[in-house]
Amino acid sequence: MTTDPVYNRKNPFPAKLLVHRMLTKEGSLKDTRHFEISLEGSGLEYEVGDALAVCPTNCPELVDEIITALGASPDTMVPLPKEGEAPLKEALTKNYVVTQPNGKLIAAVAEKTGDAELTALLEKENKPKLTEWLWGREVIDLLLGYPDAKFEPAEFALLLRKLQPRLYSIASSIKAHPGEVHLTVAAVRYHSHGRDRKGVCSTYLCDRVDINSTDVPVFVQTSHGFRIPTNPDTPMIMVGPGTGIAPFRAFLEERKAIGAQGKNWLFFGEQRRDFDYLYQEEFESYLEEGVLTRLDTAFSRDQEHKIYVQDRMKENAAEIWKWLEQGAHFYVCGDAARMAKDVDAALHKLVETEGGRSEEEAVVFVKQLRKAKRYQRDVY
Ligand SMILES: Cc1cc2nc3c(=O)[nH]c(=O)nc-3n(C[C@H](O)[C@H](O)[C@H](O)COP(=O)(O)OP(=O)(O)OC[C@H]3O[C@@H](n4cnc5c(N)ncnc54)[C@H](O)[C@@H]3O)c2cc1C
């Protein structure tokens, strides 16, 4: 008897891309896209709130440039991160991080060249300076910037880290799209130290995956604390600017599919309404149908002073408090560095102003919300 293969981190499913479309419009300063991936035949299932892990390959032009800088043959066999070996080109494409360098590579370059600046940066007390120096620099910069550092291909490979899968919040409900998983992906592209740079996985999906052709290795990463309320009547407040919108598209699809009666309030934010309003038609029709009870948007660059989702929360503090009193769950997804902190502060503030709590009592109140799983975050 044969059993179906189980697809997981060790054995990702080679999925096919069904749909790839732009979400941001021409003229946007962002590049955000919608992907629909087939899980047909994988046996993979997911719940809304889960993430899809994608195992990318590196940019082929960058890999070629590194091989040229090494002066190596692409066919030279090199060790793989854990066991086995592969030709250099394949290993640099599939197995190793060839963008952000790690300390081992920098130390090896410093040792081979005796470069005083690099050697000093590696001193323990210079860690902040090293981090600053590394910002926007990649492996190729070390190879081109320090040509006296010569590496054997196998020696070089051992100085690199293992390429890791990237997580993307699932943007669909499997009940609405059986056999499919949808993602909302922002392409990471920037210019630093005189070169154009690309995020590995986001540009793999955006630039190098062909519809119905490329095998995209994926597996489902189950979430352990980002779930819609078990009671379909419980109200939900969702704050998801930028790609933070992804799981809330899934939450709303799920609630529609199961006929949940609970109220749903979405806060969405981006730079400009005309260019960056992700899934505008879908959310506006949800509002018409009554799947969404409220939809509040914050487009930071549409007026002179910046307006963010947390500002919309402040304007609606009394109503948010009313929903919380009715048992609403409060969700946040997206940027961890700033947005999630500002939203958290706005939440604390409205508990004080609308709930009549002191600052300390608001802290306790929010802690209890978290404990009761009524305040959930998926931030990155
Ligand atoms: C639970 C979870 C859910 C997520 N969901 C989503 C989602 O729904 N959609 C989505 O798009 N992403 C999501 N992400 C983020 C996603 O996993 C990746 O981190 C993102 O796509 C970037 O990966 P990458 O491989 O393209 O870039 P990488 O190759 O990892 O490059 C990113 C790195 O580039 C460097 N860098 C970036 N910008 C600059 C700059 N301006 N100057 C200098 N250096 C810079 C930084 O070192 C940064 O760490 C999620 C992450 C987590 C943990």
Do the domains 65-157 and 13-56+166-221 match in fold? Answer: no
CA gyration radius for the chain? 24
Please tell me the distance from the alpha carbon of residue 271 to that of residue 314, in angstroms, as a whole number: 19
Pairing, β 236-239 against β 13-22:
unpaired
Residue nearest to atom 35 of ligand 1 (CA): 136
Q: Is the Cβ atom of 184 under 6 angstroms away from ligand 1?
A: yes
Question: Where do the domains of the chain lie?
Answer: 13-56+166-221, 65-157, 236-379
Q: Is the Cβ atom of 190 under 6 angstroms away from ligand 1?
A: yes
**Average pLDDT, integer, range 346-356:** 98
Q: Is the Cβ atom of 201 under 6 angstroms away from ligand 1?
A: yes
Candidates 1.10.1050.10, 3.40.630.30, 3.40.50.10490, 2.40.30.10; CATH matching 13-56+166-221: 2.40.30.10
Report which of 53, 52, 51, 49 is spatially closest to residue 376, judged by C-alpha positions.
49
pLDDT band at 6; cut points 50, 70, 90 = confident
Q: pLDDT tens digits for 39-54?
A: 999 999 999 999 999 9
Please tell me the distance from the alpha carbon of residue 204 to that of residue 188, in angstroms, as a whole number: 10
**Average pLDDT, integer, range 278-298:** 98
Report which of 57, 33, 59, 14 is spatially closest to residue 218, judged by C-alpha positions.
14
Report which of 20, 37, 13 is spatially closest to residue 207, judged by C-alpha positions.
20
CATH number of 65-157: 1.20.990.10
37 forms beta bridges with 17, 181
Q: pLDDT tens digits for 50-87?
A: 999 999 999 999 999 999 999 999 999 999 999 999 99
**Average pLDDT, integer, range 27-44:** 97
The pTM assigned to this predicted structure is: 0.97
Domain 236-379 annotated CATH 3.40.1350.10: no
Where is pLDDT greater, at 3 or 183? Answer: 183
Q: Is the Cβ atom of 207 under 6 angstroms away from ligand 1?
A: no
Q: pLDDT tens digits for 169-207?
A: 999 999 999 999 999 999 999 999 999 999 999 999 999
Q: Distances in Å between the alpha carbon of 309 and those of 20, 147, 169, 299?
A: 28, 48, 20, 8
Please tell me the distance from the alpha carbon of residue 380 to that of residue 374, in angstroms, as a whole number: 20
Distance 201 CA to ligand 1 centre (A): 8
Q: Is the Cβ atom of 268 under 6 angstroms away from ligand 1?
A: no
